[in-house]
Structure 1
């Protein structure tokens, strides 16, 4: 474990530092500290996410679109960085010694054009993932789809394991791309006067320069999100703000 006082190596190529491979644990410590310093903002964000998740699932079920629940859950990885902008700004304010509040977090788009532009990129990737997931569903069940209300139970049968495995691999590929281009992009757009392309390039460089640390960080994000989804979204109420706050500190650690 890296101690909080250990100096960081400062010989980066361009804007990116190289960090120890276990550094993500330190980011989580700092993220947890921010949560305890701003519980009204962090827990409100988490609770809001849980409520919205239930409303989306209920809406899909009522519209006989229950088969879209799994793609929607997988797509959460793709748009989560955009949802977390207010929490990034909360950590930024805490770092600067400024007051924090839920209204300030919700109105934190200091550079709306750049953040919205990056949001379009994430939404396009989300739409692409949804289309690919539906195409894979149609190809796999080409001989006839099960009743829509039975799809969740049908998928857990042993003969449908290939469908789940290949679908997870496809979703994982989308998630890797999104992780690489967004892991520090949105905090950087919030913090600095840079364009979207520059932020994405710096994000990819951070991943390439720190493959072990970023692989650990990606694994932790997947683990926390999976637990959140497996607990019927309840776990997201805690883990989402924790990861969001920690992501801000990852950005500050990785980018000079």
Structure 2
């Protein structure tokens, strides 16, 4: 079976080899995913209070947004907001990549250095941030439009959605927005899995970084599928604890993502 899968993926990998920057991307084994997690955990321990404090900052923002949407009568946007969080997670984890880079280079990690990590490549990192925010705005707007189309005679409230959840129409709506969310998440993952760490690490533009990220996925489809599943599992567990678990989950995934980038993308002197 493994030989069949390897043979089937060869044409895709050969096609990827024709892209610019393809020679900068390594092929790795699925077991490396667990090496990334172990290295991420080691970075968390080495960073002391910096990593959990960084995670706690975004947990606090998540609480504030949840309470704000509820008080504004827009609780129906909480679920799309959670989906939006997953879409922009690579950007939110930028400071964690910086902490891992500092640990790698023997520097003492600092909270302020993590928060200002974008200054390493400001124009292109901010451009990537704007693209991701636009992506989230489109995602939220499509959710609102879908709700209006599926439930034209119901008010857009969380209570109304809950009442309709077990009806055929409600289940169809949930299936549709889930499929839509998976499509958005797949695009965000493929174009950003190594892009933000790469832009932090070297003066590369957002388009080149996104292309390298796509090539990394194309050359390592099974590894990247496993890594995406691990990210969803870890962040999902964090969210199921009323966001509190993200204090650990977000730093763990962020630090591990830095090591994934290091494993997948060759250093400039190696390319």
141, 148, 169: which one aligns with 1:138: 148
- Quote the offset at 1:39 in angstroms: 2.6
C-alpha distance in structure 2 between counterparts of 1:21 and 1:155, whole Å: 41
Unaligned stretches of 5+ residues in structure 1:
1-10
C-alpha distance in structure 2 between counterparts of 1:225 and 1:33, whole Å: 18
C-alpha distance in structure 2 between counterparts of 1:156 and 1:46, whole Å: 32
Normalised TM-score (structure 2): 0.87
Q: Does the Cα contact within 8 Å between 1:74 and 1:171 map onto a contact in 2?
A: yes
Aligned to 2:126: 116
- Quote the offset at 1:223 in angstroms: 1.2
Q: Does the Cα contact within 8 Å between 1:225 and 1:239 map onto a contact in 2?
A: yes
Map Cα deviations across residues 201-252 of structure 1 (whole Å, 9 max, x no partner): 0000000000000000001111122222222111211111100000000000
Using a 3 Å threshold, how does the CA distance of structure 1 residues 155 and 98 change in structure 2: closer, same or farther?
farther
Aligned to 1:47: 56
189, 192, 199: which one aligns with 1:182: 192
Aligned to 2:260: 250
Q: Does the Cα contact within 8 Å between 1:207 and 1:214 map onto a contact in 2?
A: yes
Query: Which of structure 1's runs of 4+ aligned residues deviate more than 4 A?
Result: none
80, 83, 86: which one aligns with 2:89: 80
136, 147, 166: which one aligns with 1:157: 166
Map Cα deviations across residues 2-51 of structure 1 (whole Å, 9 max, x no partner): xxxxxxxxx99411000002211110000000000013111001111111
Unaligned stretches of 5+ residues in structure 2:
1-16, 267-271
Q: Does the Cα contact within 8 Å between 2:147 and 2:156 map onto a contact in 1?
A: no
Q: How does 1:220-235 map to 2 (within 5 A)?
A: 220-235=230-245
Aligned to 1:36: 45
C-alpha distance in structure 2 between counterparts of 1:17 and 1:233, whole Å: 35
Normalised TM-score (structure 1): 0.92
Aligned to 2:70: 61
Map Cα deviations across residues 47-71 of structure 1 (whole Å, 9 max, x no partner): 1111111100100111111111011
Aligned to 1:26: 35
Using a 3 Å threshold, how does the CA distance of structure 1 residues 95 and 166 change in structure 2: closer, same or farther?
same
SS in 2 for 1:14: helix
C-alpha distance in structure 2 between counterparts of 1:40 and 1:230, whole Å: 23
Aligned to 1:71: 80
Cα RMSD after superposing both structures: 1.6
C-alpha distance in structure 2 between counterparts of 1:88 and 1:250, whole Å: 11
SS in 1 for 2:109: coil
C-alpha distance in structure 1 between counterparts of 2:156 and 2:112, whole Å: 44
Aligned to 1:166: 176
C-alpha distance in structure 1 between counterparts of 2:161 and 2:26, whole Å: 44
Q: Does the Cα contact within 8 Å between 2:127 and 2:206 map onto a contact in 1?
A: yes
Aligned to 1:239: 249
> Which deviates more, 159-168 or 115-124?
159-168
